[in-house]
Amino acid sequence: MSAFAEVEAELRLWREHGFTPRFWLRDDDATRPSAELDKLIAVAREFHAPLLLAVIPTQADAGLAERLRMEPLVTPCVHGYAHKRQNAEPAPAIELGGDRSPDVVLAELREGLDGLRQIFGEKLSGILAPPWNRIAPDVAARIHECGFTGLSTNSWHVNGTRLPELNTQIDIVDWANGRKGQSLEWTAGELLRRLQQARERGGAPLGILTHHLVMDDQAWQTLRDLILYLKMRKGFAFEAADDLLASCMKPLRG
C-alpha cells in the first residue's frame, strides 16, 4: 500500500531500537445489538483482533450481553455512566467531572460498574473509558475506589489516576468535519506520527478508536485497510486491552 511508504522508514527505526509495535482496538458508545455492531465484530473476527467495547451503563440492555456471549474477541468495559454532558458550553463536553463533586461522580461510576457486572459478569473488563475521553483529575485520582483496574482516554494524556493507563491515539472518525471517515492517506500519516511518539516512549502500544454507530463507508474501509496493513502485511500483533495492562505496559523487544 503506497499510503504507508513513509511508515516503512519509521518501522526500520523501531527494529534498530529493538522494539516491536503493538496495537489494540477500542470502540465507544455501545448500548445494544445492531447491524453496525455486527459489522464491527465481523472485522474483529476476520483479523482475529481483540476489541474493547465501551458500553454506556444506563443505556445497555441484556440483549447486548447475549450478543457478546459467544464472542471471545470482544470484551465490554464501562463507558462513563449516561454519556451526558455535565458542564456548560462552550467548554469541551465532560461527564466525569464538570460542576459536580467527585463523590457524586464516583457514586455514579460505582452504580454503572455494578450494573454492567450484573449484565456481563466476568466478561466485563475493569477498564474505564470516559465519554469524550475526558475525566477530571480529582475523579481520576479516586476511580480505583470503585473497583476499576485501568483507565483509557486518548493521545498520551496522563489523567492523575494511580491505575495504569492505556490510551487510543488514532481515531478513524473525523469529528471536526461532519463525522466523516478519515481517509487512508490521513490515517497513514497519523500512524507515522504516533509511531514516532510511541518509539520515543520506549515502544508504547498504540490504540485505534472507532465508533461503530456513526461510521460511514470511508471509515469502515480505512479501518479494514489499516488492520490489513499492520497485521496481515507487517505481522504486528493486535492484543487485548487487559492483557496490555497486565504486562505493565512494558514494550516487547524484537
Distance between CA atoms of residues 219 and 213, nearest Å? 11
181: left (phi over 0), alpha (psi -120 to 50) or beta: beta
Amino acid at 148: F
User: What pTM was estimated for this model as a whole?
Assistant: 0.95
pLDDT tens digits for 186-243?
999 999 999 999 999 999 999 999 999 999 999 999 999 999 999 999 999 999 999 9
Expressed in angstroms, the distance from the first to the final Cα of the chain is 24
Is position 252 within any domain? no
Distance between CA atoms of residues 206 and 185, nearest Å? 18
Q: What is the pLDDT of residue 2?
A: 80
pLDDT tens digits for 125-164?
999 999 999 999 999 999 999 999 999 999 998 889 999 9
Spell out the SS3 assignment of 196-228.
HHHHHCCCCCEEEEECCCCCCHHHHHHHHHHHH
Is position 61 within any domain? yes
| % pLDDT > 90, the chain | 92
Q: What is the pLDDT of residue 225?
A: 97
pLDDT tens digits for 219-229?
999 999 999 99
| % pLDDT > 70, the chain | 97
Is position 131 within any domain? yes
User: Domain count of the chain?
Assistant: 1
Residue 250 has pLDDT above 50, yes or no: no
Is position 35 within any domain? yes
Preceding amide of 90 cis, omega within 30: yes
Quick one: pLDDT band at residue 248, thresholds 50, 70, 90?
A: low
Quick one: pLDDT band at residue 43, thresholds 50, 70, 90?
A: very high
Distance between CA atoms of residues 114 and 128, nearest Å? 13
Q: What is the pLDDT of residue 251?
A: 44
Query: How remote is the C-alpha of 81 from its chain's centroid?
Result: 17
Is position 234 within any domain? yes
Is position 90 within any domain? yes
How confident is the prediction for the chain on average, in pLDDT? 95
Distance between CA atoms of residues 155 and 113, nearest Å? 24
pLDDT tens digits for 56-85?
999 999 999 999 999 999 999 999 999 999
Residue range of the domain that includes 85: 2-246
Is position 251 within any domain? no
CATH of the domain at 77: 3.20.20.370
Count of other CB atoms within 10 angstroms of residue 3: 18
Cβ burial of 174 (10 Å; 0-12, 13-18, 19+) is middle
Q: What is the pLDDT of residue 246?
A: 87
The H or E element spanning position 54 is strand 51-55
Q: What is the pLDDT of residue 254?
A: 41
